[in-house]
Amino acid sequence: MAALFMDRYSPLRTRTIALVGLMGVGKTSVGRRLATVLELPFRDADVEVEAAAGRSIPEIFADLGEPAFREGERRVISRLLDEPPHILATGGGAFVSDETRALIKAKAVSVWLKADLDVLAKRLARKDNRPLLTGRDPKEVLQQQAEARYRYYGEADVTIETSDAAHQVSVDQVIEAVSAYIESQPK
């Protein structure tokens, strides 16, 4: 029986699954759980950018600015997409870059995790590690980002409407939607 259970996920292990969406939507939390269920490695683009730069994202933003961060992010994501299939949590702004979005679309299945802005603002109010929120109202920043980014996120292969439910609910939604997407693709 275990062999049948494992075979069900085989199609999901052929390409990287890249999670995109606004900060606080759960790309890392859902991504880690998804990787565990699918028995795939998990990669967090933000962690990989920090490792490559030898400094934190807030330090990169403060010292070099957002354009330098985005260029480093693009290079790191490009490198990660050349690795065997895995689950990739991207930074909130990564998919906005035409070049990064094209890389993801060519080499991965992209999944937009989308949540109500009030839910996200509540989550983000509990954290202080987001450089784009420093000294600003989280809801206002999220509203501005939604207006600027949703049109790009809308190009993702799959969209999952998440809520304040347990992350496992989102994991199950991603598995179901990516499975349907893969099945719908020409063989």
pLDDT per residue as tens digits for the range 77-100: 999 999 999 999 999 999 999 999
**Residues across the chain:** 187
Confidence of residue 3 (pLDDT cuts 50, 70, 90): very low
Cα–Cα distance, 175 to 181 (Å, whole number): 10
pLDDT attached to residue 132:
63
In single-letter form, the type of residue at position 28 comes to T
pLDDT attached to residue 8:
78
**Stretch 51-76: mean pLDDT, rounded?**
91
Confidence of residue 128 (pLDDT cuts 50, 70, 90): low
Q: What angle do CA 120, 136, 126 make, to 5 degrees?
A: 45
Q: pLDDT: is 187 or 76 the higher one?
A: 76
What residues contact residue 159 under an 8 Å CB cut-off, 6+ apart?
A: 111, 112, 114, 153, 177
How far lies 26's CA from each of 14, 67, 111, 180, 181, in Å? 23, 24, 12, 22, 21
Q: What is the CA radius of gyration of the chain?
A: 16
Indicate if the pLDDT at residue 2 is higher than 90.
no
Encoded tokens for 178: 């990516």
How far lies 166's CA from each of 10, 21, 94, 122, 125, in Å? 25, 18, 25, 15, 19
pLDDT attached to residue 35:
97
Q: How much is the mean pLDDT over the chain?
A: 90
pLDDT attached to residue 123:
81
